[in-house]
Chains A and B, each alone.
Chain A
Amino acid sequence: MRNGVNERAVESGPIRRRGGLRGRLHRLDATASPYLYVSPFFILFAVFGLFPLAYTAYVSLTDRTLLSPDTHFIGLENYSNLIHDSYFWNAVENTLGIWIISTIPQLVIALLLAHLLNTKLRARTFFRMAVVLPQVTSLVAVALIFTQLFSRDYGLVNYVLGSFGMHHVDWESGRLSSWIALSVMVTWRWAGYNALIYLAAMQGIPDELYEAAAIDGARGWKQFLHVTIPQLRPTIIFTVIVSTIGGLQLFTEPYLFEPLKQGATGGSARQYQTVVMYLYEKAFAGTQFKFGYAAAIGWGLFLLIAVISLINFLIVRRIRTTEA
């Protein structure tokens, strides 16, 4: 330790000799500038990430509402209420259910799409552009149109079912049926985006691997299973985690799917109320404006996402690399 200090003193010797202010500025430049260069991100993060996070944590320990100026510190009361709140757990269940039946098909479809787009198609660029079109469509427009498609009496989906002699499904009122309708919206919107990410990763896989596999007698489907997927492992981990975070924060689709636009209860029996919708109900949608409680819901959601991302990571990590 002492040695180190001595050495630095020796090194900076000549600079110091070169003179007062200039030298000091020069040293300041060398030590401070790097922090200055990276500071925009950290400042923005502090303002828009860290501060809201910390402030929400604080609010969650109070009984704050928009309607009254008085706020009292109530410790963990919001959290203990949350644990015993059956509507919260119902929302958790809905969120997980919708997340599972939307994420799995979404990523499988994305993989297959990417595989197709990676072959020698005609008008390849056109198709590659086409799969991201849902991404540039306004989310509100998507939700409104799908809501019409799945509407009970005059929806296109029921019309088609009817023409096959099947019964009309009241998509919005059933639990599983509403989850399916919402999953279709989510999958439609995100499958193409994930496909493009997979496609980029696929193009980074060296040809030698495929050639070697071909020599070993593996073709088409087998190559995809034993070369492509293991090589995509890091990309798959990335997409799974990103879709987990997005899926668990699902809000706009179910919010707009609801026919009774007041209240954000997610259907008459809360059959598709997600956690974020429940937060919105408590904070904004109704007449309660319970910010303290809503903040606690927000932190509950944060923990849920952290735990599930971890589980995901542990599972997906087990996709074997080449030797499988």
Chain B
Amino acid sequence: MALAAVLVVLTGVAAGGYLASTAAGSRQDTVTLRVSLFGDFGYQDLYKKFEATHPGIEIKEDIQSYPDHHANLAKHLAVNSGADDIEAVEVGFIAQFKSQPSKFYDLKKMGAGKLAKQWLDWKWKQSLSPNGAQIGLGTDVGSLAICYRRDIFKRAGLPTSRAAVSKLWPTWDKFIATGKRFQKHAPKGVRFFDSGSNVFNAIIAQLNPAYYSSGGKVIVGANAKVKQAWNLTMQGVLGHESAGLAAFSTDWNTGYKKGTFATVTCPAWMMGYIQGQAPNTKGKWDIASVPGGGGNWGGSFLTVPKQGSHQKEAYALAKFLTSPASEAFIFKQTGNLPSQPALYKSTAITGFKNPFFNNAPVGKIFTDSAKKLKPQVTGPHQGDIQTAVSNAIQRVEQGKQSPAKSWKQFLKDVKNVA
């Protein structure tokens, strides 16, 4: 079975190499650009537009799951074969990839330097490698809000309008306290939030520094703010406010349909996810502001690996896909929030309302949140630290360990990783 996994990888590499070489060898007047993404970025219509204005270019898209996509990209870069012309990289992985800038084209040299002001300053810097090369153009950012179920709030005796709900939790302490109040009158089997890690990650997202110091050192154990976030999350978990569902698990997905939790941490892209998982809950949701203000979860970059042979065309496409017009278009389609501050002033964005979420003015909510965003230093092992802390929180939720014991094991895991 392990062998099967290895074989899949090998054939994947082989197939990628094969496709790339046939693309290069095909008729000279057509160039096939391959774009590798995790999940659907909503690019289909934009490809058509680009193909129409750039005759002789054909675009093919490869979509994989989030973990597979990044693991494969790491492998393809290591063996110098198999990567697509454009590869998306999520913010959780950007530190890892920008530490090997020799594998990517420096987009500054291709003209992106002039465009730098187009993006949020910290977004531009996130993909800037230590040697000053720019390896990626920002797509979206995941500024935070809280999605909540109006109907369940009503049954638990809490206010339902988004202004009143936002007032319930100016801070995370108040959020956990509201959970306590909610739990007293909650419908049977319904919990205040979906999982401890989603709350914890949102608190962490507002910190700087969080897991890494500005010097690039892992400071998880030394950062008192991280421990504070842990303690607060544990307070909620021990108070039975958490449904204990791992994000993206089947039970979590079903939880959306059945309404087993009343709130969920909501980066802009989560709106599309909820609509996909639970179309039956249309109109029951609404969106309030996030406690503490600001914070980012997710968001991506488009990179151009050096092994591709069409860097000029690839850069042109990446530039087009991340242009203000394209990002505004995608926001209306999927809810992915643009990473470009000029758009936060455009009424086309700020005036946008989402009927699924009770006509919440999502354009305004998420751009307000994005303006408050403070950049955070991330590091190459961000992903592993995230996994370790999710496991640690789950161990408490599942009643397997006390918070103190679980925290100790988490610190040990982090030490092993970094």
Contact = CB atoms under 8 A, between A and B. Distances in A.
A66 interface: yes
Interface in A153-207: 153-154, 170, 173
B246 A260 contact: yes
Contact of B394 (A250, A262, A268, A287): A268
A265 B2 CA distance: 16
Given A154-B251, A287-B417, A261 B65 contact: yes
Contact of A153 (B1, B2, B260, B386): B260
B383 interface: yes
Contact of A262 (B2, B252, B387, B392): B387
A173 B398 contact: yes
Given A268-B391, A268-B394, A279-B2, A284 B71 contact: yes
**Which of B381, B392, B400: most chain A Cβ within 10 A?**
B400
B250 interface: yes
A159 B287 CA distance: 33
Interface in B67-81: 67, 71, 74-75, 78
B383 A66 contact: no
Contacts, number: 110
B243 to A, nearest CB: 9
A289 B74 contact: yes
B131 interface: no
A67 interface: yes
Contact of A285 (B67, B99, B100): B67
A89 to B, nearest CB: 15
Given A66-B78, A269-B395, A287-B417, A280 B249 contact: no
Given A153-B255, A280-B5, A173 B247 contact: no
A73 to B, nearest CB: 19
A259 interface: yes
A263 B1 contact: no
A259 B383 contact: no
Nearest to B9: A284
A267 B2 CA distance: 19
B382 interface: yes
B158 to A, nearest CB: 23
Contacts of B250: 147-148, 151, 259
Interface residues of B, number: 46
A218 B254 CA distance: 56
A269 B99 CA distance: 31
Given A173-B398, A252-B1, A263 B387 contact: yes
B261 to A, nearest CB: 11
Interface in B237-263: 245-252, 254-255, 258, 260
A259 B3 CA distance: 23
A215 B417 CA distance: 70
Contacts of B390: 260, 268
Contacts of B255: 153
A262 B67 contact: yes
Nearest to A277: B2
Contacts of A262: 66-67, 383, 386-387
A166 to B, nearest CB: 17
Contact of A280 (B2, B100, B247): B2
Nearest to A266: B391
Nearest to B401: A269
Interface in B366-398: 380-384, 386-388, 390-392, 394-395, 398
A285 B401 contact: no
Contact of A259 (B67, B75, B249): B249
A39 interface: no
B260 A287 contact: no
A251 interface: yes
B398 A287 contact: no
A260 B249 contact: yes
B391 A285 contact: no
Contacts of A260: 246-249, 387, 390-391, 394
Interface in A267-301: 267-269, 276, 279-280, 284-289
A187 B388 CA distance: 31
Most B CB contacts (10 A, CB to CB) among A153, A173, A251 go to A153
Contacts of A263: 383-384, 387-388, 391
A287 B92 CA distance: 10
A66 B9 CA distance: 14
Given A252-B1, A276-B2, 9 more contacts: A246-B1, A259-B251, A263-B384, A265-B391, A268-B391, A286-B387, A287-B381, A287-B382, A287-B417
Interface of B: 1-5, 9, 65-67, 71, 74-75, 78, 93, 96, 99-100, 245-252, 254-255, 258, 260, 380-384, 386-388, 390-392, 394-395, 398, 400-401, 417
16 contacts: A66-B75, A67-B100, A139-B1, A151-B251, A153-B258, A154-B251, A246-B1, A249-B2, A260-B249, A262-B66, A262-B387, A263-B388, A276-B1, A280-B5, A286-B383, A288-B381
State the 10 A-B residue pairs at the shortest beta-carbon distance, nearest first. A259-B249, A263-B387, A268-B394, A259-B246, A173-B398, A268-B391, A251-B1, A66-B78, A276-B2, A286-B384
